[in-house]
Amino acid sequence: MTVREVNKLVRDRVPGIILENGEMPSFKVLSDEEFLDALNDKLAEEVGEYLESKDIGELADILQVICSISEMIGGGQRELEYLRDEKAVERGRFKAQIFLESIDDLRS
C-alpha cells in the first residue's frame, strides 16, 4: 500500500471522488481559524497556478477561494461585489490599461 501525502485544502466532493477511484482518503474537518489559514494558502497556490498557465479555469478556482474567504470573514459574495463596484466608481477599473511609471512632485 502506497500513501501519498497531500496536506492541502480540497473542494468538498474530492474525498468522494477519491473513494470512487478505489482509493481511501484520510482527512479532517478544520476549525474556522485553520480553515481561513488554509484558504489563504489555497489562494496563493491558485494564483501561482494561474500565473504559470494563464488558464481561465485557474481564475475560476481563484474566484471560488476568494468567495469562500469573503464568507469566512463575514462579507459574502454580494458584499464583495458591492465593494468591488464601489471602488470602481471611486477609482475606476482597469479597462484603460494604464501602467503608472512615476509621479513627479510639482510642489517642491
Q: pLDDT of 91-106, one tens digit each?
A: 999 999 999 999 999 9
Is 102 domain-assigned?
Answer: no
For residue 105, is it within any domain?
no
Report the C-alpha gap between 52 and 31 in whole angstroms: 31
- What's this model's pTM, rounded to 2 decimal places? 0.86
* Amino acid type, 31: S
Residue 67 lies in a domain: yes
Q: From the CB of residue 59, how many other CB atoms can be counted at a distance below 10 Å?
A: 13
Write down the mean pLDDT value for the chain: 95
Query: Residue 108: pLDDT above 80?
Result: no
Cα separations in angstroms, 63 against 18, 23, 46, 70, 84: 24, 29, 10, 10, 13
Domains of the chain: total: 1
- Residue 107, in any domain of the structure: no
In a domain, residue 58? The reply is yes
> Is 84 inside any structural domain?
yes
Give per-residue pLDDT as tens, 39-96: 999 999 999 999 999 999 999 999 999 999 999 998 888 999 999 999 999 999 999 9
Residue 27's domain comprises 14-88
